[in-house]
Amino acid sequence: MEAKTGSHQRPIFGVILLLSLALNAFLIWNDHYDVPDVNFFPHGLRDAYFIKRHAGGKYFVIEHSGHRYLVKCQDTLTWLGGIYTSGQPMVDGCTYIPSLVGKSIAGGLMRNEGDALVYQPWEQVDTEQTADILTIVSDEKSR
């Protein structure tokens, strides 16, 4: 009589392979939905700006402190002569905001200047400063 070895190993190998593929797919999918790092936000998430979506062309929807802003990317400015000089246009449109859709920005890196939001990602870094200038098209209460 011949003993069958390995015939029971094939189904187990298939199950392990399927589970590892499913886990890998979940990890790749989950990577697209970043959870804000609470340690990055010194005053908690209540201070954060949420870049909700790209609204076509140069327009974006940003939520902050109960407001939903529709903003238009104007340009990116740089201050080569220091922050106390006039900003020089770097590019037409925004450099940083398009890559931040679905993410959160700490309140210290974005400020409201009345008719515009200014995103200055290098605010706390000793380097030449640049900023995306976003004109507020509309402001509605989101809550």
**CA proximity to 73, closest of 100, 109, 104:** 100
Q: Is residue 4 part of a domain?
A: no
Residue 97 predicted with pLDDT over 70: yes
| pLDDT tens track for 79-96 | 877 667 778 888 888 889
Taking only the tens place, the pLDDT of each residue in 1-17 is 555 555 555 677 666 76
In a domain, 108, yes or no: yes
Q: Does a structural domain hold residue 59? A: yes
Question: Could you tell me if residue 66 is inside a domain?
Answer: yes
Name the domain count of the chain: 1
- For residues 60 and 73, the answer to whether their CB atoms sit within 8 Å is yes
* 126 domain residue, yes or no: yes
pTM of structure: 0.64
- The reply to whether 124 falls in a domain is yes
The model's confidence at residue 78, banded by pLDDT at 50, 70 and 90, is confident
- E-only strand ranges, the chain: 49-54, 59-64, 67-79, 88-92, 104-105, 110-112, 116-119, 129-141
Residue numbers of the domain that contains 127: 38-141
